[in-house]
Amino acid sequence: MLGQLFSKSGAAVLAALCAFAVRAQGVPETQVLLAPSAGARVVAMIATTPQVAQRYDPTQARFTPDPQLVALGRQLFHDTRLSEPSGTSCASCHDPARAFGPDLRRGLRDTEKSPGTALGSRAGQFGQRAAPSLLYVRYVPRRYFYQDDDALVPSFFGGLMADASSDSLAEQVSAPLLNPREMHNRSAAHLLARLKGNGVAQMLVPRFGEQVKSDSKALLEALGTSLQAYLQSDELSPFTSKFDRFIRGQGQLDTAELRGLALFKNPDKGNCASCHTVSETASRPERSLFTDFGYEALASPRNKRLVENRNPRYFDNGLCETAKKLKWPEPEQWCGYVRTPGLRNVAIRQSFMHNGSLTSLREVMEFYNTRGTDPVRWFGKSGAFNDLAPQFHDNVNVNSPPLNRKPGSAVALSDADIDDLVSFLRTLTDERYVALMPPVLQRR
């Protein structure tokens, strides 16, 4: 948020400050739950989104879902009858064998290639955005604003999906179910008719009552509640990586990995920890979820393989579309912002960035390192950000290292530094998935 403000003209900054001057006058003393057992005091409301007095602390969250509901959610997660046509389950795009993220080779025909996103329920139809890993997703808080003492305006955190369009896991469930490029149910009513006919709705009756067979809202709530219970279970938060053993005093990082950790935290080098929070001195792994649950406008390269992007006037505007729906003041200032992902198990991903435009972890590091110094490499001949409408280019973070470098200037990270950063990021892979990491290709 601050990076965006300081890239604007003085008049626009003043306008933004005025827009956020919806302070606590008349706001009753109240608490909001950002996650189970993790509350915060509300000091103001920005439209219907609370601004709270303190940042969300994931170590305060307590997850005790009903085991029977977890079992039902697990069964639904793997049920291929949820899609139209049948054959695609939640696990199809969030594969437990790949850290609950996508296998981009799943279901492809011999000559077919993924554009960097997962295949939906229909042949040739791929998602518009890259599917994230669902491991550790239980820690993502509900939507809220928070303002540091030294900040000019509040910053936004929390919410599910790249654009915070869902406020909770239970609410988020309907998005893939009703997305024509994913599970392709045309409407809630269409979903109700299908699940009533194929037996899924009947599975929910013992827990949620007969109304799930006649009321589409009740059906979606039952599906959301069940799947949320499963996603909040300990099964999806294993904390078994080499890094976890290190912070628990059960193992060591090697020299390259320690150098990578130092670069990760160095504000003048990688500066990764400014958004991907880490606390290597804390033995509780929830202190190191490698995301602050915030949003940033990074100007990822345009993914020309996506069907939507064949239209040069199409742009995925990210958070500002949600800001409009939630009636935040000046919603356009959030265009281009997407949620900061957690980095656990990032080393086994097959595509990167919200649009799936990058194809290796090293390429991601090179993008951060050279977006400013060599923009032509990423955006084409003009060097201008190419996946965000020109009127929103001022929203892009051009102030935080290493993104603040100018064309032709020296880079912040050497090739050896990038090698070390990749080495460290590989330590975030949970034990079950270590064998899936691609071999390290160093360029020293």
pLDDT digits (tens, 9 = 90+) for 131-162: 999 999 999 999 999 999 989 999 999 999 99
CA distance 305 to 113: 10
In the chain, the amino acid numbered 159 is G
Rounded to the nearest integer, the mean pLDDT of the chain is 93
Sign of the four-CA dihedral 309, 94, 174, 392: negative
Q: How confident is the model over 240-257, as a mean pLDDT? A: 98
Of 18-32, 65-79, 84-98, 337-351, least confident by mean pLDDT is 18-32
CA distance 182 to 189: 17
Using 50, 70 and 90 to split pLDDT, how confident is the model at 14? very low
Q: Beta-carbon neighbour count of residue 223 at 10 Å?
A: 25
With CA atoms as reference, report the closest residue to 419 among 202, 245, 257. 257
Helix (H) or strand (E) holding 363: helix 361-370
Q: What is the pLDDT of residues 112-138, one digit of tens each?
A: 999 999 999 999 999 999 999 999 999
**Which residues, other chains included, contact 185 with Cβ-Cβ below 8 Å and sequence gap of 6+?**
82, 83, 84, 177, 178, 191, 194
Q: What is the pLDDT of residues 169-182, one digit of tens each?
A: 999 999 999 999 99
Instruction: Give me the percent of the chain exceeding a pLDDT of 70.
Output: 93
Given a cut of 70, whether residue 3 has pLDDT beyond it is no
CA distance 170 to 420: 39
CA distance 348 to 156: 29
CA distance 15 to 329: 10
CA distance 307 to 70: 36
pLDDT for 4: 40
Which residue is associated with the tokens 């709270």?
52
Q: Where are the domains of the chain?
A: 242-436
Q: What is the pLDDT of residues 353-362, one digit of tens each?
A: 999 999 999 9
- Kindly report the CATH number that applies to the domain delimited by 242-436: 1.10.760.10
Q: Is 97 helix (H, G, I), strand (E, B) or coil?
A: helix
Given a cut of 50, whether residue 6 has pLDDT beyond it is no
Q: How confident is the model over 382-407, as a mean pLDDT? A: 97
CA distance 353 to 341: 9
Q: Contact, 121 vs 88, CB < 8 A? A: yes
Structure-block tokens of residue 358: 């990058």
CA distance 261 to 161: 28
Using 50, 70 and 90 to split pLDDT, how confident is the model at 29? low
Q: How confident is the model over 217-228, as a mean pLDDT? A: 98
Given a cut of 80, whether residue 25 has pLDDT beyond it is no
CA distance 200 to 223: 10
Q: What is 169-201 written as a DSSP string?
A: HHHHTHHHHH-TTTT---SHHHHHHHHHHHSHH
Q: Contact, 202 vs 192, CB < 8 A? A: no
Given a cut of 50, whether residue 9 has pLDDT beyond it is no
Q: Contact, 202 vs 45, CB < 8 A? A: no
Q: Which residue has the higher pLDDT, 11 or 298?
A: 298
With CA atoms as reference, report the closest residue to 399 among 298, 315, 280. 298
Contacts of 11-19 spanning 24+ positions with Cβ under 8 A: 12/394, 13/152, 15/330, 16/153, 16/330, 16/333, 17/152, 17/153, 19/329, 19/330
Helix axes 188-198, 216-231, angle to 10 degrees: 80
Using 50, 70 and 90 to split pLDDT, how confident is the model at 434? very high
Using 50, 70 and 90 to split pLDDT, how confident is the model at 442? low
Q: How confident is the model over 238-254, as a mean pLDDT? A: 98
Q: What Cα–Cα distance (Å) separates residue 427 from each residue in 241, 251, 437?
A: 6, 11, 10
Given a cut of 80, whether residue 26 has pLDDT beyond it is no
With CA atoms as reference, report the closest residue to 300 among 347, 344, 339. 339
Sign of the four-CA dihedral 428, 431, 433, 437: positive
Which residue is associated with the tokens 């025909």?
109
Structure-block tokens of residue 34: 């950002």
- Helix, strand, coil % (nearest 5) of the chain? 40, 10, 50
Q: What is the pLDDT of residues 76-112, one digit of tens each?
A: 999 999 999 999 999 999 999 999 999 999 999 989 9
Sign of the four-CA dihedral 345, 351, 352, 358: positive
Structure-block tokens of residue 93: 């795009």
Supply the DSSP symbol for 12: H
Using 50, 70 and 90 to split pLDDT, how confident is the model at 200? very high
Indicate the pTM of the whole model.
0.93
Q: What is the pLDDT of residues 277-288, one digit of tens each?
A: 999 999 999 999
Q: Is 373 helix (H, G, I), strand (E, B) or coil?
A: coil
| Phi, psi angles (nearest 5°) of residue 145 | -110, 150
With CA atoms as reference, report the closest residue to 424 among 240, 242, 237. 242
Given a cut of 70, whether residue 259 has pLDDT beyond it is yes
Q: Contact, 165 vs 156, CB < 8 A? A: no
Given a cut of 60, whether residue 10 has pLDDT beyond it is no
pLDDT for 440: 83
pLDDT for 96: 98
Structure-block tokens of residue 171: 């609410």
